[in-house]
């Protein structure tokens, strides 16, 4: 009898971080924990499409990955978990901590600035003990930088170098995006150079972060900086100046949440439901929402469709839909 062709597969653990602005993926080798692949792409308001693109990349890889366990994180974590069929869903604060602890076991402070969120996580003796997240304002997050880059007509990626090139940063109010913008326009009008404005912006972003997000938290070295904004060297340098500590930016800083999720998946014990991520490439999925008026809670209930058939509900507080027996 002829034996079937040997189909060597690489066992992996997968972490997906669906953020408000970007979607990240990290693939870890199950045996060594080494990063085999990572992706960083814009969510562009369509998480299903971005997850599908991630799956496409996995499916097309010649190494034939076999996903042993997958975990999702980020603000789109619940949707992502439904789509790929996993029960491992972790908040981004914990996944960022896991990532930082894996890369730098002695870390004591984690700064994380992403698209809409900025966080500080205080770690002592390899355990997160305290954290804080920006509350009601997105001033000083990635999307703010993005917007201002657009307004100044520069690429957000260039802002770091521009800031470093500045000799005398302009003073810009960072408390509120609206005021910051007013300040910037004013500085432009009176003839301040673009580099100085960008440097001033970085300065005010860091000042705002330390005064609000990190308020009352004890920042101790080693400090690790993660999230998309860590790409900006101007901000890294500004953090070093204002905190007085060296700030470390490790490779994979931009995908740290997904990295942490993959580590979480690797650590999970017990039986996992089968990985369904590749279904996304074969069939059509869509999601919509409606407001339930059955009580004063008025939950926004989310509905996941597979080819025009509802397969899942969530976000209802009473379980009226999510707990209902499947037809």
Write out the residues near another protein by the rule CB under 8 A.
75, 90-94, 117, 127-133, 135-136, 215-218, 264, 267-269, 295-296, 298, 317-319, 323
**Cβ neighbours, 10 Å, residue 183:** 20
Nearest residue (CB) to another protein, 4 versus 216: 216
Q: How far is the CB of 208 from another protein (least distance, A)?
A: 17
Q: How many angstroms separate the Cα of 238 from the Cα of each of 135, 163, 207?
A: 22, 10, 9
Q: How far is the CB of 88 from another protein (least distance, A)?
A: 10
**Distance, CA of 110 to CA of 169 (rounded, Å):** 26
Gyration radius of the chain's alpha carbons: 22
Q: How far is the CB of 120 from another protein (least distance, A)?
A: 11
**Distance, CA of 154 to CA of 188 (rounded, Å):** 14
- Give the angle 97-98-100 at the CA atoms, nearest 5°: 65
**Distance, CA of 35 to CA of 68 (rounded, Å):** 15
Q: How far is the CB of 130 from another protein (least distance, A)?
A: 6
Q: How far is the CB of 165 from another protein (least distance, A)?
A: 36
Q: How far is the CB of 125 from another protein (least distance, A)?
A: 10
**Distance, CA of 255 to CA of 39 (rounded, Å):** 8
CA-based end-to-end distance of the chain: 44
Helix (H), strand (E) at residue 286: strand 285-291
Q: How far is the CB of 189 from another protein (least distance, A)?
A: 29
Nearest residue (CB) to another protein, 310 versus 324: 324
Q: How far is the CB of 133 from another protein (least distance, A)?
A: 6
Nearest residue (CB) to another protein, 151 versus 317: 317
What is the sign of the dihedral through the CA atoms of 314, 319, 320 and 325? positive
Within 158-232, where are the H helices? 159-165, 177-189, 194-208
**Cβ neighbours, 10 Å, residue 84:** 24
Nearest residue (CB) to another protein, 121 versus 156: 121
Nearest residue (CB) to another protein, 185 versus 295: 295
Burial class (CB in 10 A: 0-12, 13-18, 19+), 160: buried
Nearest residue (CB) to another protein, 168 versus 218: 218
């Amino acid at each position: 009898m002829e034996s079937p062709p040997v189909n060597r597969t690489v066992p992996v653990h997968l972490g997906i971080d669906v953020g408000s602005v970007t979607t990240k993926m990290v693939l870890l080798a199950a045996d060594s924990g080494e990063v085999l692949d990572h992706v960083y792409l814009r969510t562009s308001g369509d998480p299903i499409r971005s997850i599908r693109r991630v799956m496409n990349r996995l499916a097309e890889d010649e190494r034939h990955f076999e996903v042993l366990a997958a975990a999702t994180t980020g603000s789109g974590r619940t949707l992502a978990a439904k789509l790929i069929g996993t029960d491992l869903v972790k908040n981004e604060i914990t996944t960022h901590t896991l990532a930082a602890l894996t890369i730098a076991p002695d870390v004591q402070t984690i700064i994380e600035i992403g698209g809409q969120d900025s966080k500080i996580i205080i770690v002592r003796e390899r355990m997160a003990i305290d954290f804080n997240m920006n509350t009601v304002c997105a001033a000083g997050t990635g999307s703010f930088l993005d917007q201002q880059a657009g307004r100044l007509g520069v690429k957000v990626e260039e802002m770091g170098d521009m800031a470093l090139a500045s000799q005398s940063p302009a003073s810009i109010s960072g408390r509120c995006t609206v005021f910051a913008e007013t300040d910037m326009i004013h500085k432009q009008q009176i003839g301040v150079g673009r580099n100085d404005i960008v440097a001033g912006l970085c300065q005010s972003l860091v000042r705002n972060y330390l005064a609000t997000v990190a308020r009352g938290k004890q920042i101790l070295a080693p400090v690790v900086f993660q999230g998309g904004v860590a790409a900006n060297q101007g901000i890294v340098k500004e953090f070093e100046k204002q905190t007085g500590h060296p700030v470390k930016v490790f490779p994979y800083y931009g995908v740290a949440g997904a990295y942490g999720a993959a580590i979480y998946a690797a650590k999970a014990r017990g039986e996992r439901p089968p990985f369904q991520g590749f279904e996304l490439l074969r069939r059509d999925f869509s999601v919509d929402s409606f407001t339930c008026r059955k009580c004063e809670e008025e939950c926004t209930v989310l509905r996941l469709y597979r080819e025009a058939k509802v397969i899942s509900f969530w976000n209802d507080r009473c379980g009226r839909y999510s707990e209902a027996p499947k037809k």
